[in-house]
Structure 1
Amino acid sequence: MNGDFWRRSNMNQRNISYEFSNIKSLRVQRIRRMGDMLVLLSLQLFLLIMFVEFSKYYPDADASDLHTSSHPVFGGFDPNLNTYRKYNSMFQDIHVMVFLGFGFLMAFLKKYGYSSIGFNFFLAAILVQWAILCRGFFHLSNLKIPISVESLVEADIAVASVLISMGVLLGQTTLLQLIIMGIIEIAVYQCNFYVGDEILKIADAGASIFVHTFGAYFGLAASFALSRFKRKNDIESDKSLESSNYTSDLFAMIGTIFLWIYWPSFNSAELSGDDQHRAIINTYLSLAASCATAFAFSAILTPDTKFDMVHVQNSTLAGGVAIGASVNMMIQPYGAIFLGMLAGALSVIGYNYITPWIDRNLHIHDTCGVHNLHGMPGVLAALVSAILAAIATESQYHTGLYDIFPARAPTIPSFNQDVYRHIQGDGRTAMQQAGYQILALIMTVVVAIVTGFLTGISNKTLCFHYSFL
């Protein structure tokens, strides 16, 4: 009896000790959460101070600017000429993609749905402010950043690169880690975009190189860095939670449909005239072709010849990425369809064979398969844009050639009678422009991998795993 008593006593002591350690652990988590939220609140206050110091309304949104007045005494400015008219519908479409499309697309994880949608919402809301500032510092006017609807469109597009990277790391990081990653990534993205757009002067109207390719390889590099500091048991535990059910897949399909519908606006938002018209046509045809091809390849490559929801949710969108860099070029409708078919097939093959190989051999965990939807189609887009740049002629594009490739215009200023404006560029040849397209791709991939890896290493100390949602 004494033996039984002592065994029960020791057992009770162990239970008490276990419960005490659990209570202590919960308290530590609460303190960490509170600390993280104070950091995030401080970040919002910092953004407020920066806006107070540097921001102002763009003239078209400024009531104190007399040129916006419709009163005849002040010139009778036509409200229909306000730049708001050009960007408003595109802004709303891209807004839906960023806050609804990406969020619901990542809700396929049955035990991470709240966090997928909630973190996406929070991350986009705070980083869009940071993106406006980062972009604005390259275009200061009297030490102020003029903010317009176009600024909001550009900020949403910049934030998309972070949400793409988030898809790689989904379920592997905390909210604070994602915010830190996003702050660094937005700053690097804007620098990379400035070099590619203003110095290299490449064509990437649909942001396949600067957003999709950059975001994908930044996220993959960050995932690689974070995995270096994880125990094998933790990695296996993360993978065991990576599953979906009927309801979560249905939510993800909602995100897919919204992205698919509004992608033409994403690719053509900053274009105008025939360029915008052509971009919408090319994007829609490429998306339609990639959708049909993805369904077909999904059934062909699946052992039971059934459609795989992973392919249906993601590979159907690959055409929108693949056409992005050449979206305003004369690729012809059949060219857009062919490129969409190629992207859809490449994406499904990537999900079936390439992602497992990368996970197994390179130990890079890609939760959403971002490499197959954004990475490889983004590289394909850059290669296609280089080919089209190499064969582009003035007889094919007329003066529109210099709108798409401004660096190809003559170095000597000349007044063009057809468009009644001065045209001056760098005098590049078609092959030189093609080379710059490839150079921008290489630069973007290298910058994304290096900075993504360094960001992952810097985040390794913030590896507290707890749930807010």
Structure 2
Amino acid sequence: MSDTSTNMRLKLPIACFILEIILIILFGTLVQYDHETDAKAWHNESHHDYENDFYYRYPSFQDVHVMIFIGFGFLMTFLQRYGFSSVGFNFLIAAFSLQWATLMQGFFHGMHGGKIHIGVESMINADFCTGSVLISFGAVLGKTSPMQLLIMAMFEVTLFAVNEFILLSLLGTRDAGGSMTIHTFGAYFGLMVTRILYRPNLDKSKHRNSSVYHSDLFAMIGTIYLWMFWPSFNSAITAHGDDQHRTAMNTYYSLAACTLATYGLSALTAHDGKLDMVHIQNAALAGGVAVGTAGEMMLTPFGSMIVGFLAGIISVLGFKFFSPILEEKLKIQDTCGVHNLHGMPGILGAIVGAVTAAFATKDIYGEGLADVFPDVASGSIDASKQGGIQAISLAVTLGIALLGGLIVGWCHISSVDLM
């Protein structure tokens, strides 16, 4: 026992120190401020200080940051047995992932003269990538050690950056709120990892993994923070002006409609008519996921409400009926139900985005078409082709997520054998 405890006592510190030293060296070698952050570059241009992107983006960054560290962490505390793990490991993974994401996303998007240029927008994008990792964490919670979670985060961040580059840079996909790049990718990556890590005896301890009054109360803290700040999340990196305004508004109404659908269906599907707190804590957020891709598009307020309403219904039905099937038939133990909150609503969001994009015209968007669909506005492709690109992007995301999760899951098993 003493050998085992000593072994565990040394592994995590060594891993943390080595990883952080490597990150510091890579940052020192490759990373520098962008022109809006660098003192010399900024003052070489003639403009007012309040035109700096910091004043436009930082409020959104703050909201996203709260979602990552408080929202996601506390959302998973409903499991009485894993309350500390959900908050504590969430903190660890997020702190590592945002640094690694800065490098990985920089390699694909932010290289200038051999250097990665970073500013407030790159901080937001790093948090987005981290959010995808935390979604996967929700699927494997209780099955992995901190060491394994760091390994998973390292590989997932890398694959996330690859998928994001293929979609946004090569294909020209529009996915402002990340229904595909963040939610669908994170959910199905995590589901594949947890499938490989399947533990047949886990169902025997289900009674210990259930919620109690105070754990549900803590989880609602995460839910409320996520619900409140989701309009900022979806609109954080959209173009300034009407695009950002429209994205926040579409998300706002989608979440509201989703919440009513969640409460209604939760009571309807219960034998005693009582609300299931797991539904309220999770499904009420599905509207933010489902409107992510089309949020910046001319979805219209009532269209956003329809999307949110459908997302709430899909999510509750997933928790009630589909999760047991996943576990019994496919041997996928989805600890926090990420398939119901992020997976299926993410696919719905991708489909809504594809349909909305296919009907984008100059008559509807006017000169704003160049902001939302620059390739359509320039005439290089038509709207129907943009819709097709959106649909193909969903398939690419699912393929990379499933294959990547499969590989990382086997790496986890190997790491356990080595330990």
For normalisation by structure 1, the TM-score amounts to 0.86
Matched, 1:173 2:144: yes
Shift of 1:142: 1.5
Give me the whole-angstrom Cα distance separating, in 2, the residues matched to 1:270 and 1:76.
Answer: 25
Map residues 179-328 of structure 1 onto 2, 5 A cutoff.
179-227=150-198, 230=199, 232-233=200-201, 235-237=202-204, 239-271=206-238, 272-328=240-296
Counterpart-to-counterpart distance in 2, 1:462 and 1:76: 55
SS of 1:241's equivalent in the other structure is: helix
Q: Distance in 2 between matches of 1:302 and 1:462?
A: 42
Contact 1:119–1:175, Cα closer than 8 Å, also in 2: yes
Work out whether 1:394 is the aligned partner of 2:370. no
2:104 aligned to which of 108, 111, 134: 134
Cα RMSD between the aligned structures?
A: 1.4
Percent of residue pairs bearing the same amino acid type = 44
The count of corresponding residues between Structure 1 and Structure 2 is 416
Q: In the TM superposition, what whole-angstrom CA distance separates every residue of 1:134-193 from its partner, at most 9, and x where no partner exists?
A: 011122112111111111111001100000000000111111111100110000000100
Q: Which residue of 1 aligns with 2:387?
A: 434
Determine which of 43, 47, 72 is the counterpart of 1:77.
Answer: 47
Consecutive unaligned residues of structure 1, counting only runs of 5 or more, are 1-24, 412-426
Q: Matched residues in 1 for 2:378 and 2:253: separation?
A: 34
Give the Å deviation of 1:76: 5.5
Contact 1:174 1:463 in 2 (8 A): no
Specify which of 117, 121, 128 is matched with residue 157 of structure 1.
128
User: In structure 2, what is the Cα distance between the partners aligned to 1:274 and 1:261?
Assistant: 21
Measured against aligned partners, the alpha-carbon deviations of 1:316-340 in whole angstroms (never above 9, x if no partner) come to 0000001111001111111111111
Alpha-carbon distance in 2 for matches of 1:250, 1:389: 40
Quick check: 1:161–1:214 contact (8 Å CA) kept in 2? yes
- The secondary structure found in structure 2 opposite 1:270 is coil
**Secondary structure of the structure 1 residue equivalent to 2:174:** coil
State the one-letter code of the partner of 2:384. Answer: M
Which AA in structure 1 matches 2:309?
M
Contact 2:283 2:316 survives alignment (8 Å) = yes
Distance 2:30 2:378 in 1: 37
* Alignment-derived partner of residue 34 in structure 1: 10
Q: Is the 8 A contact 1:265 1:280 kept in 2?
A: yes
Question: Any idea what SS the aligned residue of 1:160 has?
Answer: helix
Question: Which amino acid in structure 1 is aligned with residue 141 of structure 2?
Answer: L
Residue of structure 2 in register with 1:13 after alignment: none
- Aligned match of 2:413 in 460, 464, 468? 460
Decide whether the 8 Å contact of 1:171 with 1:238 is kept in 2.
Answer: no
Query: SS state of the match for residue 457, structure 1?
Result: helix
Q: Which amino acid aligns with 2:167?
A: G
AA of the residue aligned to 2:226: L
Structure 2 length as normaliser, TM-score? 0.97
Is the 1:104–1:255 contact (alpha carbons within 8 Å) kept by the matching residues of 2?
yes
Amino acid at match of 1:396: I
Aligned AA for 2:410? I
Deviation string 1:343-392 (CA, Å, 9 cap, x unpaired) is 00110000000111111100000011000000000000011111111111
Give the 3 Å change call, closer, same or farther, for CA 30–237 of structure 1 in structure 2.
farther
| Contact map agreement 2:11 2:147 (CA 8 A) in 1 | no
SS in 2 for 1:146: strand
In structure 1, the partner of 2:402 is: 449
Q: Counterpart in 2 of 1:51?
A: 27
Cα pair 2:370 2:378 within 8 Å, conserved: no
How far is 1:431 from its partner? 1.5
Unaligned runs of at least 5 residues, structure 2:
none
Pick the aligned partner of 1:117 from 83, 87, 108. Answer: 87
Q: Secondary structure at the match of 1:202?
A: coil
